[in-house]
């Protein structure tokens, strides 16, 4: 079934034409013998102007149709004599399939993003969230296209897992044990016969597939019980994780840069209307900012050098800076915004602050880690070359307190046919924030889950 969508009708050049279209009323201006209805079906930021003349059946009744009502309109699509739109629909019949009265919360006035979060079930019907979720959908398609064009295999890694990939202990427990047993749980009696959680990353399983298919990626939901109530953290977020066999850290950074720039080009080309909306209403100069990044090559900076810059900084930071400490968002943003002025790969971090699977460098102090930092957002990608040497990996796991018995399947790939390999994770919401100018992660995911919040 192919239905008429507003986005196509607005571009139609076969006029006049009899059509039927359905959507929701954004506004209705009624005069004595004529009324104008702005109709949206979510396909476009623009609305279709429906002209209602006095001769329309039930004209007076229809003039009372409230904002938010669902309608189906039959009529003639024609060139619009008025300014502001090229086509309009002269209504011959209007059916109100679901009326909305004036208690509808989205009357024609500006609402704060905070208020709209409390009505996340209705906010997709606003201009801003229409644009956000069209962008999100289009970008997801672009992610798959990028990897498919390059021969990467798409792997569905499990959502329920028994391993903590990042080793940070920020897992949501999955259990069917009754609450009264929660204090001293016996996981051998649990659903899976062992302790399980929601995944924090598909990487470990992704690595297994890279050792068979060479280039793979995952794209799915991930969960972290981080108790950080920031504008950049969600407890449920989506991540894209490519993994390449026979690849090192610089191959990894090259893929990350190509991917990131591809996504920038994609939104400028394929989501131009929504990007223009963000540019006008959310962040002035957005498209210019994205265009520059799409056409630039990214800096690479050593962690050690970043620390030197941070120590020399004249601004004062809330968190301490010294070699061996992890970087906070304020430090990341200082590097990418003030020192470099563009996207920056920070590489070779101290081994103590990174996950167990990262490849040990010859200095024995750092690992082959790579974070991509971008202005406004800070860390948007985290990746690394993986430790492919069995003995070193085993020693590292022991040093990190990870029982090798629990990850025998992971170690097997180092036992038989091990390869140098590398990958990264791109936070899908973070890239959406970056590309839309939206400043809160809660406003780029349909139903945000953050500490204390899991409505809808
Ligand atoms: O740096 P992270 O923790 O890396 C990993 O998970 C690796 N296993 C990836 C890999 O090498 N395959 O997370 C990767 C990215 C971050 O750079 C950030 O963009 C995003 O995931 N991210 C979050 N986004 C939203 N809310 C959170 N709580 C996030 N935590 C990480
Ligand atoms: Mg990280």
| Dihedral class, residue 178 (left if φ above 0, else alpha if ψ from -120 to 50, else beta) | beta
Angle between helices 249-270 and 286-294 (to 10 degrees): 140
Ligand 1 contacts CB of residue 233 (under 6 A) = yes
Q: Report if residue 108 sits inside a domain.
A: no
Q: Report if residue 451 sits inside a domain.
A: no
Q: 213 and 326 share a domain?
A: yes
Neighbours of 299 (CB within 10 A): 16
Q: What is the CATH number of the domain that holds 94?
A: 2.40.50.140
Rounded distance from Cα 216 to ligand 2 centre (Å)? 20
Distance CA 327, CA 343 (A): 16
Nearest-5° angle of CA 218, CA 425, CA 143? 55
Q: 191 and 81 share a domain?
A: no
| Distances, alpha carbon 380 to alpha carbons 257, 327, 434, in Å | 12, 13, 9
pLDDT at 374: 95
Q: 173 and 306 share a domain?
A: yes
Distance CA 269, CA 145 (A): 15
Ligand 1 atom 18: residue of nearest CA: 427
Work out which ligand 1 atom sits closest to the CA atom of 380: 19
Mutate to test the pocket of ligand 1, among 425, 433, 440, 445 (most ligand atoms within 8 A of CB): 425
Measured between its terminal Cα atoms, the distance across the chain in Å is: 30
Q: 63 and 199 share a domain?
A: no
Rounded distance from Cα 72 to ligand 2 centre (Å)? 48
Cβ pair 256, 345 in contact under 8 A:
yes
Place of tokens 């598909």: 202
Work out which ligand 1 atom sits closest to the CA atom of 239: 21
Ligand 1 atom 7: residue of nearest CA: 425
pLDDT at 181: 84
pLDDT at 84: 75
Token pair in block for residue 302: 């050593």
Strand partners, 52: 35
pLDDT at 227: 86
Q: 80 and 210 share a domain?
A: no
What is the number of domains present in the chain? 2
Rounded distance from Cα 192 to ligand 1 centre (Å)? 27
Q: Report if residue 243 sits inside a domain.
A: yes
Q: Report if residue 328 sits inside a domain.
A: yes
Rounded distance from Cα 381 to ligand 2 centre (Å)? 7
Count Cα neighbours of 442 within 13 Å in the Cβ-side half-sphere: 20
Q: Report if residue 454 sits inside a domain.
A: no
187 by DSSP, 3-state: which?
helix
Q: Report if residue 117 sits inside a domain.
A: no
Ligand 1 contacts CB of residue 429 (under 6 A) = yes
Q: What is the CATH number of the domain that holds 438?
A: 3.30.930.10
Ligand 1 contacts CB of residue 234 (under 6 A) = yes
Q: 128 and 84 share a domain?
A: no
Residues 228/232/238/240 CA torsion (nearest 10 deg): -120
pLDDT in tens, 335-383: 999 999 999 999 999 999 999 999 999 999 999 999 999 998 999 999 9
Q: 439 and 316 share a domain?
A: yes
Q: What is the mean pLDDT of each run of 10 residues along the chain (456 residues)?
A: 94 94 97 95 96 97 97 97 87 98 89 95 96 98 98 98 86 93 89 96 97 98 92 97 98 98 98 98 97 95 98 95 95 96 97 96 98 94 98 95 94 97 98 98 97 94
Alpha helices in 150-202 (DSSP H): none
Q: Report if residue 234 sits inside a domain.
A: yes
Q: Report if residue 118 sits inside a domain.
A: no
Token pair in block for residue 15: 């006029």
Last residue of a domain, one of 98, 133, 167: 98
| Distances, alpha carbon 152 to alpha carbons 211, 217, 229, 243, in Å | 13, 6, 35, 9
Q: 180 and 74 share a domain?
A: no
pLDDT in tens, 61-116: 999 999 999 999 999 999 998 877 789 999 999 999 999 999 999 987 889 999 99
pLDDT at 83: 79
Q: What is the pTM of this model?
A: 0.96
316 lies in which domain range? 123-443
Ligand 1 contacts CB of residue 223 (under 6 A) = no
């Amino acid at each position: 079934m192919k239905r008429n969508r507003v986005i196509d009708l607005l571009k139609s050049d076969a006029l006049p034409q009899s059509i039927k279209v359905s959507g929701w009323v954004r506004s209705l201006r009624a005069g004595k013998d004529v009324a104008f209805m702005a109709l949206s079906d979510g396909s476009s930021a623009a609305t279709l102007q429906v002209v209602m003349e006095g001769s329309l059946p039930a004209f007076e009744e229809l003039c009372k149709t409230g904002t938010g009502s669902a309608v189906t309109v039959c009529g003639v699509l024609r060139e619009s004599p008025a300014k502001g739109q090229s086509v309009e629909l002269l209504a011959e019949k209007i059916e109100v399939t679901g009326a909305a009265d004036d208690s509808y919360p989205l009357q024609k006035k500006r609402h704060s993003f905070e208020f709209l979060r409390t009505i996340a079930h209705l906010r997709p019907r606003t201009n801003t969230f229409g644009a956000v979720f069209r962008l999100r959908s289009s970008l997801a398609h672009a992610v798959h296209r990028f990897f498919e064009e390059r021969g990467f295999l798409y792997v569905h890694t499990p959502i329920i897992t028994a391993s903590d990939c990042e080793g940070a202990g920020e897992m949501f427990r999955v259990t069917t044990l009754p609450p009264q047993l929660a204090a001293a749980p016996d996981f051998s009696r649990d659903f899976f016969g062992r302790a399980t959680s929601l995944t924090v990353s598909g990487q470990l399983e992704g690595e297994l597939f890279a050792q068979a298919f060479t280039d793979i990626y995952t794209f799915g939901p991930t969960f972290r019980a981080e108790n950080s109530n920031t504008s950049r953290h969600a407890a449920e977020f989506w991540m894209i994780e490519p993994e390449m066999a026979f690849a090192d850290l610089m191959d990894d950074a090259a893929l990350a840069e190509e991917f990131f720039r591809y996504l920038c080009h994609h939104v400028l080309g394929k989501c131009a209307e929504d990007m223009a909306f963000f540019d006008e209403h959310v962040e002035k100069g957005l498209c210019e900012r994205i265009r520059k990044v799409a056409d630039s090559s990214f800096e690479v900076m050593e962690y050690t050098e970043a620390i030197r810059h941070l120590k020399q900084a004249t601004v004062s930071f809330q968190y301490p800076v010294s070699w061996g400490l992890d970087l906070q968002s304020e430090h990341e943003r200082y590097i990418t915004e003030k020192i470099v002025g563009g996207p920056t790969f920070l590489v070779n971090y101290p081994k103590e602050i990174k996950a167990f699977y990262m490849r040990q460098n010859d200095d024995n102090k750092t690992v082959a880690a790579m974070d991509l930092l971008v202005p406004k957002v800070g860390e948007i990608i985290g990746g690394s070359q993986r430790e492919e040497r069995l003995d070193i990996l085993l020693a590292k796991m022991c040093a990190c307190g990870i029982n090798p018995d629990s990850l025998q399947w992971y170690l097997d790939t180092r036992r038989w046919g091990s390869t140098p390999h590398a990958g990264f994770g791109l936070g899908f919401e973070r890239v959406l924030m970056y590309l839309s100018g939206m400043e809160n992660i809660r406003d780029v995911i349909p139903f945000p889950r953050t500490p204390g919040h899991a409505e809808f």
